[in-house]
Amino acid sequence: MSTNNPGPPDQSGGSDQSPWTPPDPGAGWTPPADPNAGATPADSAPDAPQVFGAGGHPVGQSRPGKMARQEPGVTQPRPPTVGEARARDKARKQAEEAERAAAAAAEAKRRNRKRVMIGGVAIVGVAALVGGGYLVYSAVTAPDQVTASCVQIDQNGQEVVVADEFCGDGKSNFRSDGGGGLGGLVILGWPQYRYHYGGTPTIGKAPTGGSSVKPRNAEVKTKSGTTVQRGGLGSKSTGGSGS
């Protein structure tokens, strides 16, 4: 039996021949491959026209140079442009200048405060020195003030404080501190009167404290305001009658 493909029978012959049947593949004949076998309708369809969007970029495709997603730690920042680098340098320099100016102003303020404090301390020290000197001068030059009270003395030498009106030059039986004259003991009767200086006088009672000796250089006055002696160096007794 022949293995060659005889091909379809000749249809031009007589009608007495049997119709053509394809050869049996098992006999070694292989049918020719179909060029359209395995093709899909999309593959066989003609190519669609390309559509372009704004800027001439094809629609449906990602733009070159643009990241669709950024991941922390993976995405790298782009380097700054020249303009951005200049702006950053300018801002950094301005911040440094402002910081230096603030530090200089704070230092100047601190120095001025220190000078004011030193000046204030010096003024207070001078004022204290002047005030202390004035107090010392006043204490040295100002006379002491002593209060004199009138005392009545009987023949036994007992003393009793009485009203101020019984003492003074020209008063009856008044004994002046100078002695002699009208105040001498020879011509005075009893009771006698004299001044008692300082202490705690109480009318009707004996004087407590103080002295019967007039203090020198002291300003002596009675409670009623009568000046017995003007104070100061070289002071003299007025006799006790003046005010």
Model pTM above 0.85:
no
* Segment 128-177, tens digit of pLDDT: 776 666 555 554 555 588 999 999 999 888 999 999 999 988 888 998 87
Residue 68 above 70 pLDDT? no
Long-range CB contact pairs, 7-14, < 8 A, 24+: none
Residue 3 above 60 pLDDT? no
Written as six digits, the tokens of 126 are 């001078």
Q: How far apart are CA 164 and CA 1, in angstroms?
A: 186
Q: What is the pLDDT of residue 135?
A: 58
* Segment 73-121, tens digit of pLDDT: 777 778 889 888 899 899 999 999 999 999 999 998 888 888 887 877 7
Residue 203 above 80 pLDDT? yes
Pairing status of strand 159-162 against strand 219-222? unpaired
Q: How far apart are CA 220 and CA 145, in angstroms?
A: 6
* Segment 20-65, tens digit of pLDDT: 666 665 556 666 666 666 555 555 555 666 666 666 666 666 666 5
Q: Pick the closest to residue 123 from 113, 115, 112 (CA basis).
A: 115
| Bridge partners (DSSP) listed for residue 211 | 197
